[in-house]
Amino acid sequence: MPPPCNGSPADVDLVEGSAGGEPSLDVALPHALLDLVAAGRRPPLLRCYRPHATVAFGRRDTFVPGFAAASAQSRRSAKSGTIYKIVDEASAPDSSSDDATPSDQDIAGRRREYARAFAISAAILVIAIVIALALRHRPAASAGIAALAALGIGTLLQFTASKGLPMFLWPPPHLWLGTFAANFMLAVMFAAVGGTMLRPGMRRVMGSIVIAEIAWWGVPALAGAAGLTLSIARQRMDVDWLVFVGTAVGAIAAPAAGWATASLAAALAERMLPGRT
């Protein structure tokens, strides 16, 4: 139990009341006051207020169909719709709140969604490979095997190597392009599929490297431009280092994995379909 406050009223300033009828001001005011106190420009203070009824939307919600209708409905319900920097789903808080992260139930649900998406993708690729083998089309079979192998790499990364901030690792499926697992998988997939179309040797090596690097740097840029990424306002310093290390490792590992996957897929296709096709 915390000790009682024995200081005189002069020791701590008391701030009461709301910042006005705009909920976003009530959200911004605590951060501004904290900055002032931390800088020594204000004495310690205690703020007490009753928040207005508020429906909070995250920035990603603005890209979801139906956002305009939901925002209009919140206004009709005498609640002000406020867009915070990070809110996983629209919520109606009862008190002042800071950045939100997905709950354990959200993460479990998203793991099921990802598993279903990976399974459907794998089934489609397997069917494509079977058709290519039945038609004895070796290039198509090689490309299908390479894509399936890259999908397996992405699945392993997503479900076994994902450690850290859950909001980054298990975002809503339509924001998955902004994750390390998605970027690495797509870079390997493009490099592997493209590599199967090139002759073995230095041409395949160089082609896989070029394709992988273009995908590694291009996919996040395109996803960011389309608003398909999730960011946080005040990330920790260790997150900065994690992003730096992950980017550097991926830029080196993706081309190597793409070339190896292409070579393996081509060898398997040649073994299953010997001779010229």
Judgement on whether residues 82 and 24 belong to the same structural domain of the protein: yes
Judgement on whether residues 254 and 128 belong to the same structural domain of the protein: yes
* 132, part of any domain: yes
If one compares 163 and 69, the residue with the highest pLDDT of the two is: 69
Percentage above 90 pLDDT, the chain:
38
CA distance 147 to 126: 10
Confidence band (pLDDT; 50, 70, 90) for 267? very high
* 40, part of any domain: no
**What pLDDT digit, counting tens, does each position of 125-160 carry?**
999 999 999 999 999 999 999 999 999 999 999 988
Long-range contacts of 217-225 (CB under 8 A, 24+ apart): 217/251, 219/177, 219/182, 219/183, 219/186, 219/187, 220/177, 220/178, 220/183, 222/177, 223/177, 223/178, 224/178
CA distance 9 to 17: 18
- Domain assignment of residue 110, given as a range: 104-272
Q: Based on the structure, what is the number of domains in the chain?
A: 2
205 and 180 Cβ atoms separated by less than 8 Å: no
* Residues paired with 46 in a beta bridge: 14
* 235, part of any domain: yes
If one compares 167 and 190, the residue with the highest pLDDT of the two is: 190
Judgement on whether residues 79 and 190 belong to the same structural domain of the protein: no
Q: Which of 81, 100, 119 is the last residue of a domain?
A: 100
Q: Judge residue 262's burial from the number of C-beta atoms within 10 Å of its C-beta, 0-12 exposed, 13-18 middle, 19 or more buried.
A: buried
Range 83-100 average pLDDT: 43
CA distance 257 to 146: 11
* 76, part of any domain: yes
Q: What is the mean pLDDT of the chain?
A: 76
Q: For residue 36, give both structure tokens.
A: 């002032």
> Is 102 a residue whose pLDDT tops 50?
yes
Residue 214 is predicted with a pLDDT of 96
* 169, part of any domain: yes
Judgement on whether residues 116 and 90 belong to the same structural domain of the protein: no
Q: Give how far the C-alpha of residue 274 lies from the chain's centroid of Cα atoms, to the nearest Å.
A: 42
- H or E segment at 187? helix 180-196
* 227, part of any domain: yes
Judgement on whether residues 56 and 176 belong to the same structural domain of the protein: no
Q: Which of 100, 118, 142 is the last residue of a domain?
A: 100
What is the sign of the dihedral through the CA atoms of 251, 253, 259 and 261? Answer: negative
Range 38-51 average pLDDT: 75
Range 9-23 average pLDDT: 66
Confidence band (pLDDT; 50, 70, 90) for 4? very low
* 226, part of any domain: yes
Backbone conformation region of residue 119, classed left if phi is above 0, alpha if psi is from -120 to 50, else beta:
alpha
CA distance 117 to 155: 10
Percentage above 70 pLDDT, the chain:
63
β-pairing, 54-58 with 13-16?
Answer: unpaired
Judgement on whether residues 231 and 181 belong to the same structural domain of the protein: yes
| Residues 6+ away with beta carbon under 8 Å from 269 | 138, 139, 141, 142, 145, 196
Judgement on whether residues 84 and 122 belong to the same structural domain of the protein: no
Judgement on whether residues 95 and 172 belong to the same structural domain of the protein: no
Judgement on whether residues 111 and 71 belong to the same structural domain of the protein: no
Judgement on whether residues 88 and 130 belong to the same structural domain of the protein: no
Judgement on whether residues 129 and 235 belong to the same structural domain of the protein: yes
Which of 53-57, 196-200, 229-233, 273-277 has the largest mean confidence?
196-200
Judgement on whether residues 95 and 155 belong to the same structural domain of the protein: no
246 and 180 Cβ atoms separated by less than 8 Å: yes
* 111, part of any domain: yes
For the chain, the maximum distance between any two Cα atoms, rounded to a whole number of angstroms, is 92
If one compares 38 and 206, the residue with the highest pLDDT of the two is: 206
